[in-house]
Amino acid sequence: MLSRIGNPMVLAVPCFFAVSYKAAPSWPNRIRWWILSCSLITLVPLIHIRWGVRTGRISDHDISVREERFWPYMLQIITVVATYGLLRGFGAPRLVIALVVSVSTAMVAITGVTLYWKMSMHVAGTAGTVTVLSLVYGKRAIPLIALVPAVPWSRHVLDHHTPTQALAGAALGAAAPLIVFRQMDLHST
């Protein structure tokens, strides 16, 4: 259950909603930014992975085999860049843009690493989500910190990642939004 909750595509839905909620003053705009920011980033990779599993090109929905990760991750980068362009074109709030740039930064790094080594995308997504929500909501996000050790533990118990792979994912997942939000001068939001 913890591993499923820690799936980046699952975490993206509430994370993007929470950021859109904070970034926009009205419900119609909150829903608009949430749908625009979250749709491509979650639906396109989800469909691609499910299709890959059904056709036998990908071993499982977690893409546990490192050598199978490159093309799904490249597709993820493409969808994140397309989402960024779409949001910029429609004048999205800076917080929503910062979230998308954070995801893009982490995805590029993870995709490069995956050519040589397996890093936990689940843990990167969890740490990134907790970091973003902490930056946006401050102390109210503190209870979410419990997910940061829980998801790596679940990935280790399921024998999907070593502690080092989980730790590297957590470091990258937390670093991307910290750097992006600081560069965009949103660190005190």
Six-digit token string for 106: 């982490």
Average pLDDT, the chain: 95
pTM for this entry: 0.94
CA 122/CA 130 separation, integer angstroms? 12
pLDDT tens for 71-114 read 999 999 999 999 999 999 999 999 999 999 999 999 999 999 99
Main-chain dihedrals φ then ψ at residue 124, nearest 5 degrees:
-60, -45
Residue spans of the domains in the chain: they are: 2-183
